[in-house]
Amino acid sequence: MKALLFVFFKQITVPFVIVFILFSSEFGIVKQVSALGINYGQVANNLPSPEHVLRLLSSLHITKTRIYDTNPKVLSAFANSSIELIVTVPNEAVAGLADPAQAADWITTNISPFLPDTKITGIAVGNEVFTSQDSVLIDNVVDAMMGLHQGLVGLGLDSVIHVSTASSLAVLANSYPPSLGSFRPELAELIGPLLRFLSVTGSPFWINAYPYFAYKDDPERVPLDYVLFNSGAGMVDPNTGLKYDNMLYAQVDAVIFAIARFGYGGIEVRVSETGWPSKGDDDEMGATVENAMIYNRNLVARQLENEGTPLRPRTRLEVYLFALFNEDLKPGPTSERNYGLYQPDGSMAYNVGLSSATSTASVSAINSSASRIQGDKSNWLWFCIISISLALQISIRWPF
């Protein structure tokens, strides 16, 4: 009998701990509402001035944006505005910043001169580093992040500016179903130190997630309505019983599960890029204006409802749309130059309803927060029940 009990508790303990870690942040504290963000890429020769871009973002009530460098013209133009900026260390500069002295100099040159007038809230160290095939870049990214963080600590800015890196969804070995999300085995020695750094510093894990690619690669088996946030059957994770009505949320939860397998279930996952191209080559299935408008319009609507994912329903999923403009100098297939909501001349590529939708966002946020606060007491009991239930389901279907 003792042996049987030992086996039973062993089978449910690990899955229960994972589920407990993942769900515990959802019951108790209501997270502060944050604004929808957008990526402001500049790989083009015909874009409006940063001052015009600031006016455009302000008209759309966008208060968060990400740029892919530390362009001083942009940082100066955005001074004394309400826009919060994430700046980026380009991939080619990352290795040098593994030297703490160079990292400190980089902050002194690229960040400090613009503070506090410009609201710099994040530093992205490289972009899609772990899938870049550049071993020097990959080996140095975490050291560069540590050096930059220490530089911020020295200036008393570490509580204001977080340091992270944006990864491609290709860092996952498995993303379906979400509960089986896991990192590629060959990245384990690299991902571990990254997650440890993010956990210690309280920084988010940024993921570039594009359901469009899944549809383009397999349009026969991937339902278009599922990737476009349209109503439909969706899918149910057989291990957790959680229902997904769109692919983006499933992808994010797969990342959360993958992180939890390293013991860091408390790290927040944010979508640093997602979008849909409005034009593509003949072999780029689904790259149309109609699909791009539907995807981004539906995503914006959900953002303004403060939605979280099925795994973390009470934590609003922070998302940065890609991108603000079509960028005519980007290499690659036609789609790469057609992710923008706007043409370089400022005209809309298509209308996602941002200006009208965001005007009611604050009212929706207040109503949503009030209803969630009322349910806090009963949520804790429900949390305990669902954690035990899910742990039992996972232990049966997926023994550790």
Contacts of 105 (CB under 8 A, 6+ apart): none
List the one residue out of 166, 170, 179 whose CA is nearest residue 206: 166
Whole-model pTM?
0.83
Q: Measured between alpha carbons, how far is 122 from 131 in angstroms, rounded to an integer?
A: 22
CB atoms within 10 A of CB 77: 18
If we measure between CA atoms, which residue out of 387, 315, 354 comes closest to residue 63?
A: 354
Examine the pLDDT at 35 and tell me if it is beyond 70.
Answer: no
Residue 204 DSSP label: P
Set 26, 84, 268, 273: catalytic member: 273
Cβ distance 174 to 185 under 8 Å? no
- Count each helix (H run) and each strand (E run) in the chain, helices first: 14, 12
| CB distance 127 to 41 below 8 Å | no
Q: Which of 26, 84, 128, 307 is catalytic?
A: 128
* Pairwise CA distance, residues 397 & 238, whole Å: 8
Handedness of CA 226, 294, 212, 126 (dihedral sign): negative
Mean pLDDT over 24-36 rounds to 45
Q: What was the pLDDT predicted at 273?
A: 98
* 312, two tokens: 């973390």
pLDDT(340) > 80: yes
Q: How far is CA 37 from the centre of its chain?
A: 10
Question: Is 186 one of the catalytic residues?
Answer: no
Helices 135-154 & 100-110, crossing angle to 10 degrees? Answer: 70
The yes-or-no verdict on residue 309 having pLDDT over 70 is yes
Calculate the average pLDDT of the chain: 86
Give catalytic status of residue 128 as yes or no.
yes
Any idea what DSSP says for residue 134?
-
- What letter would DSSP give residue 48? P
> Per the structure block, which two tokens stand in for 90?
């380009």
Give the tens place of pLDDT for each residue, 239-255. Answer: 999 999 999 999 999 99
- State mean pLDDT over 333-357: 90
Q: Give the model confidence (pLDDT) of 177-188 as tens digits.
A: 999 999 999 999
